[in-house]
Every structure is written in structure tokens, then in C-alpha cells.
């Protein structure tokens, strides 16, 4: 059974001249997600398994940050030194802090840095892949992700989805260290064989595709994945995450990302489900269990809510596209509460004799004593 509600939680709609249209996206798969509430504001093939390329490094970074110390010193192996593709030119035997490797991996997309991180965290790439997949399922809640390496170079069984990548990015952005590195645009690099300044590959961060509210990003490319991009932006109270996958040209992933951000910031706002709000179907009442819960809703207030049999409150746009879900809690009925309180109440104490009863009992006892005395005397007189 599903109960449908109509809503009017946001009243300030007069200033919106017309409803923004969904963006036309060139990338094969894409998603725009509220970084805080997890609401899906736009999607295109977001649950399709895709090749992520270097967006894999977002997962490698947050996994290492949460499981190791940033000041740890990593000794680079020969295997790490020989990884192909984009590198920060590490040398075998070079000693580098974990923090520096993370910066080289996220800012300059160093595959050798990613390999060195994976070997340090788990000893070898196979064990790293096993552990990072478990970590992503348990911590992030991904459903269609399987990584076989830390850098994203193509392997047949290495895949994810736009939706899972957004979830991974949202989770990572809760970490201050990740958030800072993800937004860095340049970094002096003094390596054993390479002294330079690293610049981010993300062109929105470098203002080559200007966007005022961009806060971080990561690029990716391998032939099988084509162009991939992860980007975060903040404006007012909204923090958004955009993922674009498999575009033919760089300009496409950036233009798609800007279109999605513009659509999100111009269409949605935050609202709050009050802790005193009660939702009811034919049999049960549900609440937020005493908490105010933030949700993402359209400016124009044109959306609907559905309450499922198990108390999940689902939000949909007017066109029926899914936005987000909130798990509500069953509110006990007043009858159940009364029965619970009655059963939980301690038994009443035994009543103490009243003062009146004590006086009566004392008089009776005295009378019996008098009768006994006189009776005894009468017996003796005979």
C-alpha cells in the first residue's frame, strides 16, 4: 500500500518566473545529487555500469585517509614506479609521506602515487581491491561498484555507476582533508626525480570553464571510458555533486556539468520535515522520531510524497522522477502507550492500616482482655 500526499512546504514561489527545463546532457551517463541530503536532482543512465577511469582515485583517497595516518612515510616500490599513464615520477625506494602521495594522486592524477598508496594500505593490489570494495559497500552503501585497481586504468571487471560515484564523492567530501585536496589548484612538488608545480587537471577549478561556485573536482580518461568528470559546487545553502561519464570531448563534460549545476541551483531549495510532523496511512502513524530532517524540494513546490507500507517517505518530482527517501519511524498508538505504561508501572504498596482502624482494633482487644479477667474471677469464686 502506498499513500500519496500533495505538498506546499515552500511558499516563496512568486519570484520564479518559469520552471527551468531539465538540462540536455551529451555525456552517456550523468547525475546531479545534493551532497548533503543525497537527493537526486537530475540523472541520465545513472545506474548503468560504466568505466570510471581516474575517478576511481576518489575512492582510493578517502579509503587511505580514513585508515592510515597522513604523516606515515611510504617507501615506493619498483611496481609503483613502473605504472603507466599519468605519473608524478616517483622513484623506487623514494620515501614520501602519505599526504604528499594523496596530493599527487588527486591533483595531478598520478597513477604511480595511487599504486604506492594501495601497496602501503594493504600490501598488494589484490588485497587492496578486496578491502576497498568492502569499505565502499559498508561505509558508503554502493550497489553497483567493483574496483580491481587503485588508479582506474582499464580492466574488464573494473566498473561503477554515476550514482555510486556521486555517493562516494559525497561521503569523501565530509572529510576535511579530502575536501581540501579535492579543491587545490596547484602544489609545489619536490620529488627525487621531478621538481615542478602540480596543477589540477580540472579546468573549472582553473577557470578555463569559469564557474563561480565550483569547490572541487577530479578528471578521468582512458580510451574505454572516454572523458569522465566529478565536480562539487556550493551556492547558498546548497552543496551539489555532479558526475559525468563517457563524453567524447572535454568540452562536453564541462558544459554538461555547468548545465546540471545551473539547473540544480535554479530549481531546488532545502526544506525541513518538522520533528512534530505525523504521516498516517490507514493503519499506522509515522514520525521522524523527534528529529528535524532536511530534504531537497523544488522552488515551484510541484512535487509529491509517497508513504510506503514500511514507513519510507519518498519524494518525486512532478514528472514522476525520483528525488530521495526518508525512513520514518512507527508511532505507537495511544492504546499501546497506555497499556505499556500500565504494565511498566510498579505494583501499588500494601495499604497501611488507617488510624481509625487502629483505634477500633485497640478497643476490641481491651474489651476481650476485660472479659477474660472477669471470667477468670468468676471461675475462681465458685
Could you state, in order of their start, the residue ranges of all structural domains in the chain?
27-270, 274-331
Q: Which residues are catalytic?
A: 54, 57, 109
Higher pLDDT among residues 372 and 362, named by residue: 362
User: Quick one: pLDDT band at residue 356, thresholds 50, 70, 90?
Assistant: low
Name 359's Cβ contacts closer than 8 Å, sequence gap at least 6: none
Give the separation between CA 166 and CA 232, rounded to whole angstroms.
10
Task: Check pLDDT > 80 for residue 82.
Answer: yes
Give the separation between CA 177 and CA 102, rounded to whole angstroms.
10
Could you give the angle at the alpha carbon of 259 between the alpha carbons of 110 and 209, nearest 5°? 50
What is the reported pLDDT for 317? 87
C-alpha distance from residue 229 to each of 10, 172, 202, 246, 376 (Å): 33, 16, 8, 9, 114
What is the reported pLDDT for 4? 57
Backbone angles phi and psi of 124, in degrees to 5: -155, 170
pLDDT per position as a tens digit, 171-185: 999 999 999 999 999
C-alpha distance from residue 152 to each of 91, 116, 182, 244, 250 (Å): 21, 14, 17, 15, 18
User: Quick one: pLDDT band at residue 13, thresholds 50, 70, 90?
Assistant: very low
- Radius of gyration of the chain from its Cα atoms, rounded to whole angstroms: 34
Q: Please, which residues bridge with residue 317 across strands? A: 303
pLDDT per position as a tens digit, 216-237: 999 999 999 999 999 999 999 9
What is the reported pLDDT for 100? 98
What CATH topology corresponds to 27-270?
Answer: Beta-lactamase (3.40.710)
The 3-state DSSP class for residue 205 equals: coil
User: Quick one: pLDDT band at residue 53, thresholds 50, 70, 90?
Assistant: very high
Nearest Cα residue to 135 out of 121, 155, 123: 121
Name 335's Cβ contacts closer than 8 Å, sequence gap at least 6: none
Task: Give the DSSP H or E segment for 188.
Answer: strand 186-190
- Greatest Cα pair distance in the chain: 135
- Average of pLDDT values for 295-306? 86
Amino acid at each position: 500500500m502506498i499513500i500519496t500526499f500533495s505538498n506546499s512546504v515552500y511558499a516563496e514561489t512568486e519570484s520564479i518566473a518559469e520552471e527551468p527545463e531539465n538540462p540536455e546532457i551529451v555525456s552517456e551517463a550523468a547525475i546531479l545529487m545534493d551532497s548533503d541530503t543525497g537527493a537526486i536532482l537530475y540523472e541520465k543512465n545513472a545506474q548503468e555500469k560504466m568505466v570510471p577511469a581516474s575517478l576511481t582515485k576518489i575512492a582510493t583517497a578517502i579509503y587511505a585517509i580514513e585508515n592510515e595516518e597522513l604523516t606515515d612515510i611510504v617507501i615506493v616500490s619498483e611496481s609503483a614506479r613502473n605504472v603507466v599513464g599519468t605519473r608524478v615520477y616517483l622513484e623506487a625506494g623514494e620515501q614520501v609521506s602519505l599526504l604528499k602521495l594523496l596530493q599527487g594522486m588527486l591533483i595531478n592524477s598520478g597513477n604511480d602515487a595511487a599504486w604506492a598508496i594501495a601497496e602501503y594500505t594493504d600490501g598488494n593490489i589484490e588485497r587492496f581491491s578486496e578491502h576497498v570494495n568492502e569499505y565502499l559497500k559498508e561505509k558508503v552503501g554502493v550497489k553497483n561498484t567493483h574496483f580491481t585497481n587503485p588508479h582506474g586504468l582499464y580492466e574488464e571487471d573494473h566498473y561503477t555507476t554515476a550514482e555510486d560515484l556521486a555517493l562516494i564523492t559525497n561521503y569523501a567530501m565530509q572529510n576535511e582533508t579530502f575536501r581540501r585536496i579535492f579543491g587545490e589548484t596547484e602544489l609545489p612538488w619536490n620529488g627525487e626525480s621531478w621538481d615542478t608545480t602540480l596543477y589540477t587537471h580540472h579546468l573549472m577549478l582553473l577557470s578555463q570553464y569559469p564557474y563561480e561556485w565550483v569547490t572541487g573536482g577530479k578528471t578521468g580518461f582512458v580510451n574505454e571510458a572516454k572523458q569522465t568528470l566529478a565536480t562539487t559546487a556550493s551556492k547558498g545553502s546548497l552543496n551539489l555533486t555532479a558526475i559525468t561519464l563517457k563524453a567524447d570531448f572535454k568540452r562536453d563534460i564541462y558544459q554538461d556539468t555547468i548545465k546540471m549545476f545551473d539547473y540544480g541551483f535554479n530549481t531546488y531549495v532545502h526544506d525541513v520535515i518538522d520533528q512534530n510532523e505525523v504521516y498516517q496511512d490507514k493503519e499506522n502513524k509515522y514520525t521522524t522520531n523527534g528529529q528535524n530532517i532536511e530534504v531537497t524540494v523544488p522552488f515551484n513546490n510541484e512535487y509529491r510524497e509517497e508513504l510506503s507500507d514500511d514507513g519510507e517517505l519518498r519524494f518525486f518530482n512532478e514528472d514522476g522522477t525520483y528525488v530521495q527517501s526518508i525512513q520514518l519511524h512507527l508511532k505507537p498508538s495511544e492504546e499501546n502507550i497506555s497499556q505499556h505504561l500500565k504494565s511498566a508501572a510498579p505494583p501499588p504498596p500494601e495499604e497501611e492500616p488507617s488510624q481509625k482502624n487502629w483505634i477500633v482494633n485497640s478497643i476490641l482487644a481491651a474489651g476481650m482482655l476485660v472479659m477474660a479477667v472477669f471470667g477468670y474471677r468468676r471461675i475462681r469464686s465458685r
